[in-house]
């Protein structure tokens, strides 16, 4: 059966790049992008696009039926830092969209779901070094709470109703194609923009705050890889730990200075420091590497070179 794919939240950081990649794989007419507004005109103009609020179960059902969708990537969410400002909005958005998609799958209208979790499911009591797949999870942010609860519901719908839902716990994601979207790890995107524009960055985390991070190309590869794996290989139906590299703002400065020697930085930690301090430093993702052969490609210096080169070209154009 040919895949007919709906991406919810296609104008976001991950959703936009996922849309392009899935259209390469399945064809433009088989991948429908959707979001609540025309927030990314490149995505809007690149293929079929629908204005869709996935909190509205009726509108979602109509869209699924209209395009005969069998696979949904639910990428819409309110992220960590923004969620702390609007906790109930974050809860409502992150949970209602998940239930609406899970229920459509339960009723046989969707065959496969991808739903992203996050390292935000972990909390200050979680082991910080090589955080294992199965461990203490006491998240301290609304975003993390929604992701932890979502993991439990995904596993429940799989066990109870046979819903083929797959998930990975994304670390911080770095990309040059979209602007930072309100996450605590987004400093690692903004720093490259400011490095080129001002040769200086004001960092909202302290210099030794080590966090798990990943380049967008690796994140997209992992997302597609888990969705293309045979169902028999997916042994975890809550969410898989996923990792690539871990580094600190200080490490980033060292890497950027190899390309821009005059780059400077100031450290002025704000409320996001407490969020970052509650998350792991490094992640054990051995289950993903064993079950569906996950492996990352990009090092920090690889990321720095690619980010600066592509952002410089983007400015010129």
Catalytic residues: 143
Task: Quote the CA–CA distance of 33 and 43 in Å, as a whole number.
Answer: 8
Nearest to 72 by CA among 149, 167, 147, 155: 167
Checking DSSP bridges between strand 245-247 and strand 211-215, what pairing results, if any?
A: antiparallel
Contacts of residue 290, defined as CB under 8 A and 6 or more positions apart, other chains included, come to none
> CB atoms < 10 A from the CB of 111, how many?
15
Residue 4 φ/ψ, nearest 5 degrees: -115, 110
Question: Residue 177 pairs with which residues in a beta bridge?
Answer: none
Task: Quote the CA–CA distance of 7 and 147 in Å, as a whole number.
Answer: 19
Question: Residue 172 pairs with which residues in a beta bridge?
Answer: 213
Burial per residue of 187-199, b for 16 or more beta-carbon CB atoms within 10 angstroms, e otherwise: bbbebbbbbbeee
Contact 105, 113 (CB under 8 A): yes
């Amino acid at each position: 059966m040919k895949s007919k794919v709906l991406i919810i939240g296609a104008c976001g950081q991950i959703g936009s790049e996922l849309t392009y990649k899935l259209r390469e794989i399945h064809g433009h007419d088989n991948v429908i992008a959707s979001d609540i507004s025309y927030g990314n005109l490149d995505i809007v103009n690149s293929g079929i696009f629908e204005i869709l609020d996935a909190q509205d179960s009726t509108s979602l059902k109509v869209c699924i039926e209209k395009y005969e969708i069998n696979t949904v990537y639910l990428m819409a969410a309110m992220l960590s830092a923004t969620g702390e400002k609007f906790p109930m909005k974050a809860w409502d958005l992150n949970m209602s969209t998940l239930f609406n998609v899970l229920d459509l799958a339960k009723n046989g209208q969707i065959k496969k779901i991808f739903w992203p979790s996050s390292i935000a499911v972990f909390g200050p009591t979680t082991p910080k070094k090589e955080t294992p797949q199965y461990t203490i999870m006491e998240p301290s942010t609304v975003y993390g709470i929604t992701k932890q609860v979502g993991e439990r519901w995904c596993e429940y719908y799989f066990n109870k109703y046979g819903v083929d839902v797959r998930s990975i716990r994304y670390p911080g994601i770095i990309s040059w194609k979209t602007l930072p979207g309100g996450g605590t790890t987004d400093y690692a995107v903004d720093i490259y923009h400011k490095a080129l524009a001002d040769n200086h960055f004001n960092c909202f985390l302290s210099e030794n705050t080590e966090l798990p991070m990943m380049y967008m190309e690796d994140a997209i590869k992992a997302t597609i890889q888990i969705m293309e794996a045979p169902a028999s290989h997916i042994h975890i139906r809550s969410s898989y730990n996923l990792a690539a590299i871990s580094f600190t703002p200080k490490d980033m400065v060292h890497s950027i200075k190899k390309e821009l020697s005059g780059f400077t930085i100031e450290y002025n930690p704000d409320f996001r420091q407490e969020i970052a301090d509650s998350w792991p430093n490094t992640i054990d993702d051995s289950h993903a590497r064993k079950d569906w052969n996950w492996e990352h490609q990009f090092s920090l210096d690889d990321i720095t070179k690619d980010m600066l080169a592509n952002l410089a070209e983007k400015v010129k154009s």
